A and B are shown apart, each in its own frame.
Chain A
Amino acid sequence: MRLLTIIALIWLLAACSTTPTQPTLYERLGEQEGITTIVDNLLYEIGGNDTLLPFFAATNISRFREKLIEQLCQVSDGPCDYTGDSMAQVHAGMDLNDSHFNALVTDLVAAMDEAGVATGAQNDLLARLVPMYDEVMNPDDYINAEPTDTDANRVTR
């Protein structure tokens, strides 16, 4: 029973721990320079990943790099605005499954390790990206839900 209490306490603690981080995540990732390193490392990882590489065969890599840097900057509370397309639009028609998603997360973690990002900051970034899972994996749900007018399909972020 004491153990149950401990488990319950840990649960409560987890629910309450808002972690008053002084520096923003953007700063902890090393700001623009650090994020650029992470994305470059990620591109390198993808380049060696047989599961992921085929998806990027026709991709404009310099655009992908630029938009991803913007997105990570914005998501980590940095001074950027993401100007790319919506996650649903970008990933529509790729027919992604969990193996692909896991492969990308694994490569991102490797990219952050390589860039020397601390475990806590890594977890924070992943926690901010994971809510996009549904839109990336089920893009049709989001695109069909938007107005059919093509202009309205442009990003609303």
Chain B
Amino acid sequence: MVNRYLSRTLMLLVVLTGLVFNPAWAGSKILATSGATQIEGAAGGGLVPWAIIGGYGSEREWGAAASVTRVGLPDFQLGTAAVHAGINNRFEVSFAQQTLQVDNLAAVLSSPLDGVIEQHVYGAKARLWGDLIYEPWPQVSLGMQHKVNLNPAAGNVLGANSDSGTDWYLSVSKLYLHALFERNLLLNGTFRYTDANETGFLGFGDGSGTDTQWMAEASAGVFLNANWAVGVEYRQKPDRLNLGESDWRDAFVAWFPSKQVTVVGAYTDLGKVALWDDQTGWYLSVQINN
């Protein structure tokens, strides 16, 4: 296990170093408007993908980001290492390697869960219309996330009928300038068509024939100034496996010290995850942009 984390960290360090020591060039998007990386690797908030295209590349430019994210919960550790790149402020591609680790495995040996569930998420997103800031209507993007669960045993035991699945989502985002107490306000709504159980960690579908459902997600954030934002997120989740799967939520603080670095800290409430209640804890994500 240690080896897996080590090699992943090394791989990321190489990517990050490459990005940072890139010839001093940064895309021209306004600071903070390329957002952060959500847990499945897409540009967005922490839990919710937004309509923004990742990276600081604007029209006729490109931009990329690499990030590591940890969510510490009473009975779990969720880790994500992700990269995404945006081209022409039009298309985004992303990849995320996620691990959900169960703590104190000895105490729960009778559970059907593996000690670690690993999942890979391949994502793509396209901006359909609008602009986050400049046009009166919001920016609208269509995205997909193809997920492959590498440890599907737990999901299978609990009733999932597939170890891979594809989420489709439509996101609507808008930054309102001078909107709330003279501050800029970011609002995002995402509608996700998904058959994932616990975002895929417990597999996909349940073989009922009505596996895929629409879920609603929302984010709101206020920029205290150019470098700091605070906000909240909500992510509705289905309960196909009848485990009492909870909706997710978080309250975040995001720091954009420069175009090269993005840091997000959050308090997350993931509710009941599999057999474990009250999974609330901290979230930390560190991102490097070219």
Contact = CB atoms under 8 A, between A and B. Distances in A.
Interface of A: 1, 3-4, 6-7, 10-11, 13-14, 17, 19, 51, 97-103, 105-106, 109, 119-121, 123-124, 126-127, 130-131, 133-134
Interface residues of B, number: 38
Contacts of B181: 17, 19, 120
A131 B136 CA distance: 8
A134 B232 CA distance: 32
A14 B58 contact: no
A119 B183 contact: yes
A133 B135 contact: yes
Given A4-B218, A101-B134, A123 B184 contact: yes
Contacts of A51: 28
A127 B184 CA distance: 9
Interface string B168-185: 000000001111111111
B61 interface: yes
Interface of B: 27-31, 58-61, 89, 131, 133-136, 176-185, 187, 218-220, 222, 224-226, 232-234, 247, 249
B30 A105 contact: yes
A11 B138 CA distance: 14
Contact of B60 (A17, A99, A101): A99
Contacts of B176: 14
Contact of A127 (B28, B89, B178): B178
Nearest to B225: A119
B97 to A, nearest CB: 28
Contacts of A124: 178, 182
Nearest to B251: A3
